[in-house]
Each structure stands twice: as C-alpha cells, then as structure tokens.
Structure 1
C-alpha cells in the first residue's frame, strides 16, 4: 500500500492517527476518533477538522463544491452533493456514489511478482484426485435436487451423526440439557457420563466428514434456475475436496436427475467420481429410500477412507477471496493483506478467484488494465453490464450494495467499498473471467461473477473450485462453507479480540503501523498451508459453519 503517513499527537512516541492512502486522494481516514477543531498535518497541509470524525471514517483534505469528485485509493469513489469544507466528514448526506470511466487497454498495468523465496519448494499435504486436482479436505456429500427432499436430508444427517458419534452440536445440546435441569457450571467441560460428549470415533480417519446440503430451489422457478442449480451442484460433486456424493430426488421437479448427470459428466467425463442417485417417487417406501441412501453414504465413506494425504505443490491451491461485514479499515488492512497472499500464491503457480461483481463497480478500468488480453477484458465488461441490467430490471442498482453496517463504519458509497474490496485480488494479471458456476480453468487470478451476498458468493467460490477460502471482515461474520475450509481475517484488532472464537488472523497491526503487509502476508500464507494440510482447523471448520445458498440471478447484490 502506497504513501501511508505517520502522524504525531504531541506525545514523545509517534502514533498514527490519520492515513492518506494514495497521493492523489483528496480525503484521509481517521484511525482514531478525532474531535472537531483538531489540527492534523498531512503532507504539507495543516488542517483543522470541521466535524467530529469517528475512527474508520473519511474527511476532506480540501474544500469540495457540489459535483466535485471524491478520490480515495487513487480512484473516484463519489461526488459531493453539497459543499463540504476542508476537514469535513464524508457522509451519505454530502456524497453520492460515482465512478470513473476511461478507455484502458488490457495488459497495460505492469506487475512485479513478490519475492517468494521462502516458499519455493514448499508443499501442502492434500488428497490427490484421479483428474489431477488436489483437495484440502476429503468429504462425502449428501445433496437434494429439490427442496422437497430437505426433510429427508435432515433425517440422514441426524442418523449419520448418531451412528458415527460425530454430532458437531453435542456441546450445545449438553448445555441446553443442563440449563433445563437447572445445572450450572462450565459447559465447555465434557461429561464422561454423557454419550453426546464423547469424541467422534476414528472409524474413517482419512475422511473429514459428511456434508449435508439443503436449499430452496429445484422447482417452481425457471428452466434457467434449474440448470444453474444443477451446474452448481455438479461443481460441488466434482470439487477437489469431495470424494463422492449421494443425491436425493423427488422425481417430478424441474431439476431432473438427467440434468445433474449431464452437468457432472461435463466436469468428469471419465466418471471418476462416485455419485449415487435416489428418486423418492420411484422408491417402494420412504424407509427404503433412507436405507439405500444410508448404505450409499457408508459405502462412500469406506471408499474415501482409502485415500490419504500426500505432498502437493502450492500450484495446486486455488484461493477464493471474500469479504463480509466490511468496515472502513477493510480496504486498508485485511483486503490488501489477502491480496498479498494471492500475489504470492500466483507467483508460485497457484490460483486466486476474486468474486462479488457489485463490489468491483468503480474499479472496472483497473481490472481491465490487468486482463491479459482483449477477449478476457471484453467478457468482464459484458458480464458486469449484464448483471447491472438484471439488477435494474428489479429496481436495484450496484450503488445500493453498502449495508447499514458498512455505512456506519465508514464505507459511504459502493465505489468506496469496491475500491477497498478489489484489493483482495492483489495486483497480478487477470487470466480468466468466469460466469456463475463455471469451473476454474487456468492458474493465476480469475474473476468470478457472483453477488456481494456473503454466503451466495462463498457458495459460488467453492462451486467453481476454490479449495481454500480467505474471508475478510471488519464487523464480524460467522460464514463458512460445507466443502471448503474458510479462514476469517479481521481488519482491526478490536474485532479479533472480541470475536476471537470466529477470527483466525488479525490484520490490525497494519492499521497501527506496527507490521507491514508483506510481513503478515507471509505469515497468513503459512497459515493457509497449515489449514490446507489438515494440520490446523479454522474456526469456521471447528464451529461447523457449513453455509450454502445458491444464487438466483438478477435479484441479489
């Protein structure tokens, strides 16, 4: 990150209280609460703050008239809707969303790969699949083709958890029983007399578990909805982290078994994945359906258990990047930190996937300049424009993307949010652009068309083949994924401390100027390798945060 400034506040030891991110910026970020009248020195300017400025929020470095552009990260992030004095705070009342337009050439932005000497020759321990992909986990999937089968999926989930002694909620169930009985005490301590408190047996030591997906689609929508669902489910069935799947169908729904089989065959033409399909309307009874599905699951676990982790090059890692519950520090610390990890992984022959198209609005020209050729750049423009048309058709616009929490913590416009969100993709070349559900194809950085909705986007990242996901947050979010390990990166140390049960890594030292992005990027990449190898479990894995929501296109931002 360029041109950070160290401010002093009259003490013997310097403390950074404001930050101007780029030399072209006409706003700066308050790193702590600053009162009106406070004088701050930035470059050759001495500015008296016209308003109280809360930490994470932005204030102007010069007076702005209505219509004048607000610049942050060196790009347009809004325009003044009323006069703002120098030192005035930026709010939704005085600034509106605005973006840059410009004709840039693909490949016009140079890139110098980071030094990756430390990681040359480094491997992770993964599950090698017959198609050449490598998983960071080894899972069996149980999937409904239609929402009518969700209840049967839940029956199977409870039966399998009980049979394996692998109930992820046993501690909470024990807590509830103790509360009902009026028993006080530390519910974190296991009770040897409680069968639910026992540790899961190691009957299948090389398997990371069974994942049961549910959803609200499969019928009642359009043919395109059914096809998109089947393509997404095929992405999960053929995922490097998945050994095979059990699929339940009702029979009469729009998302037919043959549609899913065709989608799976396109990804797995050699039929190397084991997939068992069961149709309830063709079964003699519900009991027979459940019995056959259970047999499929246990046979699948036995087969998956014969696969063991083996060393694999880092080129086999595909890192999906996501942000949710973002704050005014996300684009300063956590997002560029993750971008540093992506750049290192790409330099090592690996891959990154940057999603959330509504949160790339305003930086399209920068991404086009990073595309390796005109066809890739053209596809990015086409998908962005098509998405915007879909949103407009239901009365929505990308400018509506920032949530109340985003705005409260300093992300005033979508362009401001986007300029920081795009930092997760690093600075390397864009080698491919994927539409929703399309599989990852090329090493390097790809863009994936998804909404900004956290779970819809992480669901799509895994569906396109990300075998590890890094998720940045400034406000805190418990999102995980059923098949792909998710690591949470806090933009600030207060969050990392307060929600330490869901946060895996603290980017707060970057805000305070204590650690550099380069230093922490190496530490975070090392942690990613440990998680990919199964030697470290992320909090999302530990808490069984298995969120799965397919995207119904054109509705979600």
Structure 2
C-alpha cells in the first residue's frame, strides 16, 4: 500500500452512508467505506431478503444465506483469491468464489499474507484545539506531582509463595471493616504466579520487577505492603530498590520466614495496614486538570461491531484527552498486526515507527517458536461475534486510538512518561495487557467488549463499553455505557464519544464503575511471564 492510499484510512473507522443518523432506525446493511466488498448486518438476516445497499453496490442485495447480526454480507461478486475489503482495507482473501449476498466468514475468507507497506511519519492530524473552560476532575495529588483517581492500600507479593498470606491480610479489610475510612478505596492483594526459579537479571525477572514497581509507585496507591516468603529470587528489598515512590507513599515490608510463619505474618500485616489507614484516610480530592489523566485503552471479547461503535467512539474521547495534554495508551501488540501501517503512518518520528515494527517482528518470532502465528487470532468468541481474520480484528482495534499522532512506543510496564497518544507492547490476553498498562501508570482504563467481558483492574477503575445494545440489555450490571446505540440509529458517534469522555472525568472523580460496584479487579493482576523458569 502506498503512503497516499494509507492516508485516508489512518482515521478511526466510522459508519458512513447515513445509516446511523440519530433518531432513525438503523438500516439492515452498514457500509463502512465506499468501495468495500462487504457490509455489516445490523440485525439477523434471513435467506431471500432483498435489502437496499445504498450506493455501495448497485440498488439491492439479495441475501443468499442466513446471516447473524454483526456478521458480513458480500455486496458484490468476489473471485477466489481476491482481496476482500472492509474499512477500505483488505481483511483477507476469498478462499472460494463469493457471490453478492453471501455470508462472508471463515468458510470463504482467509488470511491475506500479501506484504504490507509501512508508511512512516506521513500522516499528521491537528486535533481540534480545546474550547471553553478546561475540563477538570477531582483527584488525589501526590507529593511527586502525579494525580491519582483512587486511594488504595496495595499488598504486593514478591513471590507466589506469599500469595495466600497476602489474601488473608486483605480479607480482614473487606466490607464493613472499611466503614470508618470514607476516603480509602480499599485494601487489595495483588498476587501472581512467579517470583522464584528465574534469574533476577533475566528478561522475565526484569519484567516482573518493572510491573511490581509500577504498582508500588502508582498514583492510585497511597500505601504499600510488600510481602515475601524470605528465600525467593525476587526478594522484597529488590522490589522497592528501583521503585520511584512518591515521598508521601506509606511503605511496609514483611517476610513470612522472619515473622515466624503465616499466622504471625497475618497478624503483623493486619497491624501494619491498620496503622496506615488513618493517615491515608486524611487524603482529600482536589480539582485537577483533565490533562493530568493517563487513560488506558483495551478491548476483550470483540465482535463485528467493535470497530464500528465502541472503539471509534473511545477513539474520539482519547483524542479529546490528548488535545488537552493528557496521555492515552493503546496496547495488545498481536491485535494491531495487519493494521500497524495505520500507526506507523501517524508516528511522530521514524524511530517511533521502527520501534513498533521491531516489536511486531519479535512477536512473529515468538509465536513461531510456540508453533503458532499471529493470524491464529481471532478467538472462537470473536468469530462467533462476526470477526473472521486478525486483519479485520486489528483494523477495528486500532480505532480505540483515535487519530492523534503516535508519540512513543513503550516496553511492557514501562512508565508512561510521554504525553500524548502512545503504544505499549503487551500480549493480547486482557488481564496481562491491562496489568502492564496500569503498571505504566494508567489512572483510568476504558475497556470495550462485544461478547461481554466482566473485567476489572484494581487499583485503577475500568469503564466497560459495550459494542451492541443486545449485550447491554443482557449484561447491564457489567457494562457502563451502551455504544450499540450508534448502529441502532439513536445516537451519533460524536455523542457517544462525548459521553465516554464525561464518564472518564466522573469516574476519575470517584464515581464507581460497574466492575467496582461488583468488587471485581483484585484477581485480574496478571504480570506477563517471560523466559525460563528452573
């Protein structure tokens, strides 16, 4: 693909063709770009239906198969071996001849292995300048100048051997035990499955240490208890030795062996936390500029609507934050594969673009070592929801990043110290990905889902964005915003984007998310495990 042809589609995918005008019923076929070979069904379609295809492909399309909602319908005949286009991009090649009106999915669409060109730093988008009063939120300003959106005590384990003990301590501070501390959001045990049997200087150990330090120094954490066994490779003192803690963070350390066993350690740990709570409870929220937020972008359980509703609406909110001087981070490297050219084109420098390409090269080698490849994605749930190839999934996934220039590419759990729109190298597995984003300093996370994720990520609030209204009706207790209204024709992309931005500010100010109401987020701390364990 040439840089010229890449430029128009470096923007978030959006419904075109007027099919989602607010206040009107959604058309049954949604065409995303002029010249696309497929449309997306906005409801279940039955064999034999004759539907208006607008100006996309003749006058009408006769449906030749039963097609589930959010799946694809061919707008025109496509010969075997030819590319199939959606969002104005190839999402794969026809594995057999496809007739107009046929269901396009795994049975007739395969991976497009054609070499992609990667335009570098060719697209610059001048985001609209903020107008009116600067948006603010009420956050916790720490002594080092960073601003938190929550006020937690975190119990960090240096090794899995201390995980159960950490949970026993945290369990003493559940429910009514915290009633006396209105300004403390909770005590959370952040446990993991590693910490020993690996060389401390190895990439795996360094990744774990970076993650633990990121949580210890996180602005949403006012007090830290680091708990170890006493003989592990990643010792308690090494966790804190490299952490850039705010001077006002309260810190305690314990090891089970030194304390005399689990019972003694639980007693000591409970006492240590009780001593912290009154001081942490004295923190008060204050008015802070929206540009001081760090927003994490993630998705899980995506469907055929993800790249049409929730992801591009979140992209608008992300752009608005970046325009205010804030930081927004996209992640899940395997799930930008096939759409990376849209990001490299937006890179601020060739070096930033090359760093992203280098990480993708690493991932392809990593997948090959395990006998797989990056096009093994999407998951069965993604496919049931209408996504067929990793190319299609990735094109929708990058829409979460809006249109802002790509300012930096970070390693997993590295501090997010570059303002603007940035990328973090993480796996696509949601808990591992978001753990890295939070370790980097994300103070709010927006998580889009089409199949229905119930994800939370203490100590950072997770706002759940549903891609379709059926999901919101079925799992409303777990979803914060119904973005399906865009394809239902009752809200515009811009309206939902504004709603997401407003919710980000409200949640940053203390409003509880759906996952927080359900106390979800303590078990989803999953650092990325790399390297040899002996």
1:418 to 1:47, Cα distance in 2 relative to 1, 3 A: same
Task: Confirm or deny: 8 A CA contact 1:353 1:445 kept in the other structure.
Answer: yes
Task: Decide which of 212, 217, 222 is 2:189's aligned counterpart.
Answer: 212
The Cα RMSD (Å) is 2.0
Task: Confirm or deny: 8 A CA contact 2:46 2:63 kept in the other structure.
Answer: yes
- Could you give the per-residue CA deviations for residues 451-506 of structure 1, whole angstroms, max 9, x where no partner exists? 11111112111111110001111111111011100111111111111111111101
Moved more, 79-88 or 288-297: 288-297
Task: Decide which of 35, 39, 62 is 2:76's aligned counterpart.
Answer: 62
1:281 deviates by: 2.1
Task: Confirm or deny: 8 A CA contact 1:76 1:99 kept in the other structure.
Answer: no
Does structure 1 residue 156 correspond to structure 2 residue 132? no
Task: Decide which of 109, 133, 143 is 2:146's aligned counterpart.
Answer: 133
Q: Distance in 2 between matches of 1:482 and 1:14?
A: 39
Q: Distance in 2 between matches of 1:553 and 1:17?
A: 46
1:117 deviates by: 2.8
Task: Name the SS of the counterpart of 2:270 in structure 1.
Answer: helix
1:15 to 1:230, Cα distance in 2 relative to 1, 3 A: closer
Task: Name the SS of the counterpart of 2:43 in structure 1.
Answer: coil
Aligned residue in 1 for 2:6 = none
Task: Name the SS of the counterpart of 1:165 in structure 2.
Answer: helix
Does structure 1 residue 77 correspond to structure 2 residue 91? yes
Alignment of 1:141-180 (within 5 A): 141-161=154-174, 165-166=176-177
Task: Confirm or deny: 8 A CA contact 1:26 1:62 kept in the other structure.
Answer: yes
Moved more, 366-375 or 107-116: 107-116
1:338 deviates by: 0.6
1:484 to 1:369, Cα distance in 2 relative to 1, 3 A: same
Task: Confirm or deny: 8 A CA contact 1:48 1:87 kept in the other structure.
Answer: yes
Does structure 1 residue 4 correspond to structure 2 residue 11? no
Task: Confirm or deny: 8 A CA contact 1:6 1:18 kept in the other structure.
Answer: no
Does structure 1 residue 52 correspond to structure 2 residue 81? no
Task: Name the SS of the counterpart of 2:51 in structure 1.
Answer: strand
Aligned residue in 2 for 1:390 = 366
Q: Distance in 1 between matches of 2:484 and 2:531?
A: 36
Q: Distance in 1 between matches of 2:385 and 2:34?
A: 23
Task: Name the SS of the counterpart of 1:245 in structure 2.
Answer: strand
Task: Name the SS of the counterpart of 1:275 in structure 2.
Answer: strand
Task: Confirm or deny: 8 A CA contact 2:151 2:220 kept in the other structure.
Answer: yes
- Could you give the per-residue CA deviations for residues 295-353 of structure 1, whole angstroms, max 9, x where no partner exists? 22122222222221011000111110111111111111011111110011111111111
Does structure 1 residue 308 correspond to structure 2 residue 303? no
Aligned residue in 2 for 1:187 = none
Q: Distance in 2 between matches of 1:305 and 1:492?
A: 40
Aligned residue in 2 for 1:34 = 45
Task: Decide which of 10, 31, 34 is 1:23's aligned counterpart.
Answer: 34
- Could you give the per-residue CA deviations for residues 74-117 of structure 1, whole angstroms, max 9, x where no partner exists? 12211111111122211212111226644444321131424643
1:100 to 1:206, Cα distance in 2 relative to 1, 3 A: farther
Task: Name the SS of the counterpart of 1:117 in structure 2.
Answer: coil
Aligned residue in 2 for 1:170 = none
1:336 to 1:373, Cα distance in 2 relative to 1, 3 A: same
Does structure 1 residue 243 correspond to structure 2 residue 222? yes
Task: Confirm or deny: 8 A CA contact 2:469 2:482 kept in the other structure.
Answer: yes
1:274 deviates by: 2.9
Alignment of 1:472-483 (within 5 A): 472-483=448-459
Q: Distance in 1 between matches of 2:311 and 2:322?
A: 16
Aligned residue in 2 for 1:190 = none
Task: Confirm or deny: 8 A CA contact 2:449 2:467 kept in the other structure.
Answer: yes
Q: Distance in 1 between matches of 2:530 and 2:88?
A: 32
Task: Name the SS of the counterpart of 1:150 in structure 2.
Answer: helix
Task: Name the SS of the counterpart of 1:76 in structure 2.
Answer: strand
Task: Confirm or deny: 8 A CA contact 2:144 2:247 kept in the other structure.
Answer: no
Task: Name the SS of the counterpart of 2:172 in structure 1.
Answer: helix
Task: Confirm or deny: 8 A CA contact 1:3 1:23 kept in the other structure.
Answer: no
TM-score normalized by structure 1? 0.87
Unaligned runs of 5+ in 2: 1-12
1:288 deviates by: 3.5
Q: Distance in 2 between matches of 1:100 and 1:484?
A: 40
Q: Distance in 2 between matches of 1:282 and 1:89?
A: 65
Q: Distance in 2 between matches of 1:290 and 1:127?
A: 29
- Could you give the per-residue CA deviations for residues 500-548 of structure 1, whole angstroms, max 9, x where no partner exists? 11111011110122211111211221111111001x2111111111121
1:247 deviates by: 0.8
